[in-house]
Amino acid sequence: MSLLKRASAIEEEMIAIRRKIHENPELAFKEFQTTALLEKELKSYGIETRRNGDQTGLTGVLKGAKPGKVIGVRGDIDALPVPEDTGLPFSSKVEGVSHACGHDINCTTVLACARLLSELKDELSGTVKFIFQPAEETLSGAASMIKNGVMEDPKMDAIICVHTWPEMPGGSIGVRRGAMFAASDRFKITIRGQGGHAAHPHRSIDPVVVAGYLITQLQTIVSREVAPLDSAVVTVGKMTAGTASNIIPNEAVLEGTVRTLNKETRKRVHESLVRIATHTAEGLSATAQVEYVTGVPPLVNDDFLNDLVSAATVELLGEDNLLEVPVASMGSEDFAEYMEFIPGAAIRIGTYDERPESKGALHNSKTVFSEKAIMAGAVMLTGTVFKFTGSDFSKLL
């Protein structure tokens, strides 16, 4: 039987599972029911399962009949603190929580791939790890899975993932060469001056004025130090200072985020931020102490994997369903954490259809998703696994 026939035979069942997950959304590290449901399904396909330590999330391990390479396929499972307002009959039953980012679709797509590959086990060379990751929205789930041993036993040679995308039609696959998501780092600058009476500034060192200079000077990092065709963001999102209009405070604090698309720029922006903060403060007789917290790394897709995904998509779903994601996102994706160890590729699955609300933004309470994405994504993943492990691809046609 062709892979497309197998896929259409299980589509209805997979959509029912997606709707069940959609109705019962769970926030980061609270995905207890979702984990249990996925575990039960994987077991029913004869796939070995492993829990993510004592945290939510799990991994399914499927060994093919023949030896070969090991590939990971990751879907995230957490929901958002967004009340659902879609009017769908299977809307969230949980007050204030919904799958507004489509992680119900992502994990069902990986589950459908697991089901298809379990049926094709005799044709499979190598091993597949199905990684159902919690807490993507808080950018902390990948780290928890790595800490709990997901990279080991067996070690993976590569990893791929899917994510819904409302800017592409349901049934299409979106790939991108190179940078896909940005690194996300945080900073906190504590400026110390000397407090005093607002009417006698010459007897004080005003940290509020230093903060004012800094907010604008930090923007010169992007405009003057990052190459015009590279991308970076420096945003001061929070400023705290003072208690009253007639008092110069001792201290002012700036907090913000830095986004970059490659490791060199990431390092450069970090160094520049520290340099500008400390020397600007010094020039104005104050001091600035910078706390810089590095978060998720930049996500740069592997060319070889990207080509495999493209080839599998064209051969199984047709050329029309392969689309190029035109630009990287300055948002972040903690899938990049796994890619610190092994090559990877993040793939978009298109989710718009004839409903106007399906073209809405991710994280919006009204956005709906085309369920065509599930089997299209599962077919693409299955084909990519076959290509990567060197299994006989003709068995899928």
**Chain residues in the site for Ni ion (CB under 5 A):** 101
Helices 372-389 and 3-23: crossing angle in degrees, nearest 10, is 130
Residue closer to Ni ion, measured from CB, 78 or 353 = 78
CA dist., res. 134 & res. 330, Å (int): 22
Minimum CB separation of residue 363 from Ni ion in Å reads 8
Query: Do 243 and 249 meet the contact criterion of CB atoms below 8 Å apart?
Result: yes
Give the residue with the Cβ less far from Ni ion, 117 or 182. Answer: 182
* CB nearer to Ni ion: pick between 272 and 367: 367
Distance CA 106, CA 111 (A): 9
Residue 101 CB, shortest distance to Ni ion, in Å, is 3
Closest CB 349 distance from Ni ion, rounded Å: 12
Q: Which residue is nearest to Ni ion (CB)?
A: 101
Question: 284 in helix, strand or coil?
Answer: coil
State the minimum distance, in angstroms, from the CB of residue 163 to Ni ion.
Answer: 6
**Closest to Ni ion by CB, 162 or 308:** 162
* Rounded least distance, CB 76 to Ni ion, Å: 6
Residue 392 token pair: 């006989």
Give one DSSP letter per residue of 23-56, joined into a string. HS---TT--HHHHHHHHHHHHHTT-EEEEETTEE
Contact, 128 vs 385, CB < 8 A?
yes
Q: Least distance from C-beta 103 to Ni ion, angstroms?
A: 6
Is residue 395 within 8 Å of residue 113, measured between CB atoms?
no
In the complex with Ni ion, the residue whose CB is nearer, 101 or 309, is: 101
Nearer to Ni ion, 82 or 226 (CB): 82
Question: Which SS3 state, helix, strand or coil, does residue 300 take?
Answer: strand
Question: Which residue, 166 or 383, is less far from Ni ion as judged by CB?
Answer: 166
Q: How far is the CB of 135 from Ni ion (least distance, A)?
A: 11
Query: What secondary structure does DSSP assign to 77-124, as a single string?
Result: ---BS----S--TT---STT-B-TT-HHHHHHHHHHHHHHHHHTGGG-
Distance CA 158, CA 390 (A): 13
Closest CB 136 distance from Ni ion, rounded Å: 6
Nearer to Ni ion by Cβ, of 3 and 346: the residue is 346
Pairing of strands 322-324, 173-175: parallel
Closest C-alpha to 80, from 92, 71, 63, 68: 92
From the CB of 87, what's the least distance to Ni ion, in Å? 22
Residues 173, 175: Cα–Cα separation, whole Å:
7
Q: Cβ closer to Ni ion: 159 or 277?
A: 159
- Helices 3-23 and 103-119, axial angle in degrees (round to 10): 140
